[in-house]
Structure 1
Amino acid sequence: MINDKVLSIILGGGQGSRLYPLTEARSKPAVPIAGKYRLVDIPISNCINSDIKRMFVLTQFNSASLNKHISNTFHFSFFSSAFVDVLAAEQTISSDKWFQGTADAVRQSMHHFLAHDFEYALILSGDQLYQMDFNQMIKKHEEANAEISIATYPVNAKDATSFGILKTNEENVITSFIEKPKADLLPDWTSEVSEEMKGEGRNYLASMGIYIFNRDLLIKLMDNPDTVDFGKEIIPQSIHEHKTVSFQYEGYWTDIGNIDSFFEANLGLTDDIPKFNLYDQKQRIYTHARILPTSKISGTTLNKAVIGDGCIIHAAKIERSVIGIRSRIGKESVVINTYMMGSDNYESLAEIDKKKINILMGIGERCHIKNAIIDRNCRIGDDVKINGGKHLEDKETDTYCIKEGIVVIKKGAVIPKGTII
């Protein structure tokens, strides 16, 4: 079944500089999460679970790996109208510029969207972790006779200063909007929230960057080339002229905007009852179906560890860590508070011998690694010690980056034997 009323537009984001170096060679939606998925799998899976199966993903930076992932992953029946298409910024007769913002990306791509019949455009971010049934939001949009709906998330006073905050009336109609308000302004910006949210001190409604626009209104709003961003321009300008309602969401949601939030979101999956539920039968997360063997673990103490498929592990201990697909960890190594993304392929004994490889893909023997992100295809030699933490200053070298105390080993980096970070 396909929801023919809705066309989904997933915004891939800009250069992703706050997630650097993970975005050095890939776009933000293509960044691997949870050991086997990519960030873009989250909004796409939410759409599929909501029977919305016509999707465009808009991107302009390092889109090759994203293209490859989507083309290898999301295949629908030849007799279905379902699709997931990547639209990279392109030069046309009417525009020769890069996307200047979220609204400009939609504006420049409108000719692709208008080739399809739809009543509502569902606009999503490509860098958030959440599970939502969009049908509930669409139903509320229709019942309210709204022209625009915005998904909102109750936040506390501390977090409110980092978001666009909305104020609603008793009918959930948005009456005002302020971008990243200062703390002294907050008392005037509380909204009606559930008793549970009040109990947690979450009295402010933050925009989640998830929007529904009626088709005709979106076409009209895109006629103005001076508005380039939804959050900063389109929404504040529209709430007084077009009926804009809030759809309040109280489940798990996190905006993966920087290395720290990305790190915590991944390590949070190791909790006994994680806030983001990968085991929900009704809200599955879909990704590339790899044919990988089971993981093999020998002599390792595991505590709060998530292990992907196809790993070969001889470590002494793995604790509060996510170990991605095809990872190899040598004997007597200890891995704590670490996200290891894994590898794109295995190295055969013949390759190792022929190429005279001294440091194998993965983590070597007798290593001690703590508070780190190890990107794909890294080679970490024996006796390497990485001890991330707030005691470290921000720093960048050819092979690693330190951000907010987290040591990020760059994709494909080789860390020589005995290195201490």
Structure 2
Amino acid sequence: MSADTLILILAIDRGVGPDVLTQHRTKAAVPFGGKYRSIDFTLANCLHSGLRQVLVLTQYKSHSLQKHLRDGWSIFNPELGEFITSLPPQMRESQEWYAGPFDALRQNRYLIERNRAKQILVLDGGAVYRMDYAELVRAHKEAQAKVTVAIRPTSAPYSGTQAGVELDEDGYIRALSPAVPVAEDEDGERLQTMGVYLFDKAFLLAEFDRLDRGERQDSDLALDVVAPLTQEQRILAYRFGQARGRVTPDRYWCDLATIDAYYRANMELLYAEPPIDLYQADWNIHTYQGQYPPARTVPGPMSGNEGVFVNSMLAAGTVISGGGVNHSILFPCVRVKDGAIVEESILFDGVEVGEGAHLRNCIVEKDVVIPPNEQIGHDLKLDRERFTVSEQGIVVVSRGIWG
């Protein structure tokens, strides 16, 4: 299975998602869940699906992502034909950067041609979900399809960043629509793409030639490339979360399209029964973890009060010194000082919360130092003068606010 499928993961731009979180990194490198990057979910899917020839196409502010791939994902054995390789624009044919997702594939045609794979699996590196791609490949082969697109039902009336899907009576894609209200199908179900596309290799190479002749726009893979093909080819729809496959069918998928979506997806991990199961023993999410000491709580040096945390995730190296953390997610090496309170918040690596500070409904960027007695998330009018505040009142504290 591994030798038959070459994977190209698109991590080339900032994305349309939470811009304030992609000032210093591409969307695929955005931290998630206290210890992960969003691309870890896609890579873990590749790993567990037995598909281990992976090219990660990078471009926009890629240093953080490339460092993460080097430190956390140098686990495949090249002697067995396995690899995860970061691939910035090679400029073999021109001096141009990747102009869009399909152009990113086209510019690496020579790598596709010389690989013995028969299928090319193209994935979005910025979505959070678990999926057995081996079952997708199997369905593609069984149907002898030229193109297969993974789809999922959604209860939302709008498709966000993904295209709406209309199926014919045989389960093939009749049409794809832009990010506007998605029509219900005959069963009252709304369907969307999810950034997972499987191409027959020979067919994809032929499409490269068509793009060279200017027959395709190139800003969205589903709408600019796949949608026109529905008039020429039978495009197979693969339903996400089927009974076949080795992943518990939680059917969770999130593209972190806004600050509020990002915040909600993290907070949902704190539910007694979270919508995505990170604890399935045979489908762990691999990532890079620094060699930090265990997280701990200690009494405050001045007050003597015990550090406490309630229904929260604490990563390694975090110390709560007489402060309190409630319903929050703390990434590695966070410090919560004496008398500080953190509620309903997400703190990235290295954040320090000063004595007596109080954070509520916040996302705090890496290495930010919150001054003592600072109040954030309590007066949104004041917060908007200093920080980014989302539509639903989530305050994002960026780097460089203080000093």
* TM-score using structure 1 length: 0.84
1:335-354 to 2 correspondence within 5 Å? 335-343=342-350
Aligned with 2:396 (options 399, 402, 408) = 408
Distance across 1 between alignment mates of 2:109 and 2:46: 20
1:10-409 to 2 correspondence within 5 Å? 10-16=9-15, 18-75=17-74, 76-92=76-92, 94-156=93-155, 158-160=157-159, 163-182=162-181, 186=183, 189-191=184-186, 203-223=189-209, 224-225=211-212, 226=214, 227=216, 228=218, 229-250=220-241, 251-298=251-298, 299-343=306-350, 362-387=352-377, 391-392=380-381, 395=384, 400-404=387-391, 405-409=393-397
Matched AA of 1:406: I
Distance across 2 between alignment mates of 1:182 and 1:20: 23
Task: Please tell me whether the aligned partners of residues 308 and 320 of structure 2 are also in contact (alpha carbons under 8 angstroms).
Answer: no
Matched AA of 2:138: K
User: Kindly, what percent of the aligned residue pairs are identical?
Assistant: 25
Matched AA of 2:196: I
Q: Where do 5+ consecutive residues of structure 2 fail to align? A: 242-250, 299-305
Q: Shift of the alpha carbon at 1:114?
A: 2.4
Q: Shift of the alpha carbon at 1:82?
A: 1.1
2:345 is paired with a residue whose SS is: strand
Q: Deviations over 1:133-159 (max 9, x none)?
A: 011111111111111111101113523
Distance across 1 between alignment mates of 2:260 and 2:113: 39
Alignment correspondent of 2:302? none
Matched AA of 2:203: L
Q: Shift of the alpha carbon at 1:403?
A: 2.9
Task: Please tell me whether the aligned partners of residues 49 and 134 of structure 2 are also in contact (alpha carbons under 8 angstroms).
Answer: yes
Q: Deviations over 1:300-340 (max 9, x none)?
A: 33222011111111254212210111111101111111110
Matched AA of 2:176: F
Task: Please tell me whether the aligned partners of residues 12 and 29 of structure 1 are also in contact (alpha carbons under 8 angstroms).
Answer: yes
Distance across 2 between alignment mates of 1:110 and 1:263: 38
Distance across 1 between alignment mates of 2:65 and 2:166: 37
Task: Please tell me whether the aligned partners of residues 176 and 222 of structure 2 are also in contact (alpha carbons under 8 angstroms).
Answer: no
Task: Please tell me whether the aligned partners of residues 396 and 402 of structure 1 are also in contact (alpha carbons under 8 angstroms).
Answer: no
Distance across 2 between alignment mates of 1:191 and 1:207: 18
Compared CA separation, residues 392 and 84, structure 1 to 2 (3 A)? farther
Task: Please tell me whether the aligned partners of residues 394 and 403 of structure 1 are also in contact (alpha carbons under 8 angstroms).
Answer: no
More deviation, 286-295/203-212? 286-295
Q: Where do 5+ consecutive residues of structure 1 fail to align? A: 193-200, 344-360, 417-421
Count of residues paired in the alignment: 380
Matched AA of 1:328: R
Compared CA separation, residues 323 and 9, structure 1 to 2 (3 A)? same
More deviation, 320-329/236-245? 236-245
Q: Deviations over 1:180-232 (max 9, x none)?
A: 3447xx2xx5155xxxxxxxx6x011111211000001111111233223112
Task: Please tell me whether the aligned partners of residues 130 and 252 of structure 2 are also in contact (alpha carbons under 8 angstroms).
Answer: yes
2:346 is paired with a residue whose SS is: strand
Task: Please tell me whether the aligned partners of residues 11 and 26 of structure 2 are also in contact (alpha carbons under 8 angstroms).
Answer: yes
More deviation, 208-217/82-91? 82-91
Alignment correspondent of 2:303? none
Distance across 2 between alignment mates of 1:171 and 1:249: 17
Compared CA separation, residues 161 and 37, structure 1 to 2 (3 A)? closer
Distance across 1 between alignment mates of 2:378 and 2:103: 39
Compared CA separation, residues 109 and 316, structure 1 to 2 (3 A)? same
Q: Shift of the alpha carbon at 1:178?
A: 1.8
Task: Please tell me whether the aligned partners of residues 173 and 244 of structure 1 are also in contact (alpha carbons under 8 angstroms).
Answer: yes
Matched AA of 1:318: V
Distance across 2 between alignment mates of 1:62 and 1:176: 34
* TM-score using structure 2 length: 0.88
Distance across 2 between alignment mates of 1:180 and 1:106: 23
2:2 is paired with a residue whose SS is: coil
* RMSD of equivalent CA atoms: 2.2
Distance across 2 between alignment mates of 1:162 and 1:258: 10
Matched AA of 1:89: P
Distance across 2 between alignment mates of 1:393 and 1:111: 54
Distance across 2 between alignment mates of 1:215 and 1:394: 52
Alignment correspondent of 1:349? none
1:21 is paired with a residue whose SS is: helix
2:22 is paired with a residue whose SS is: coil
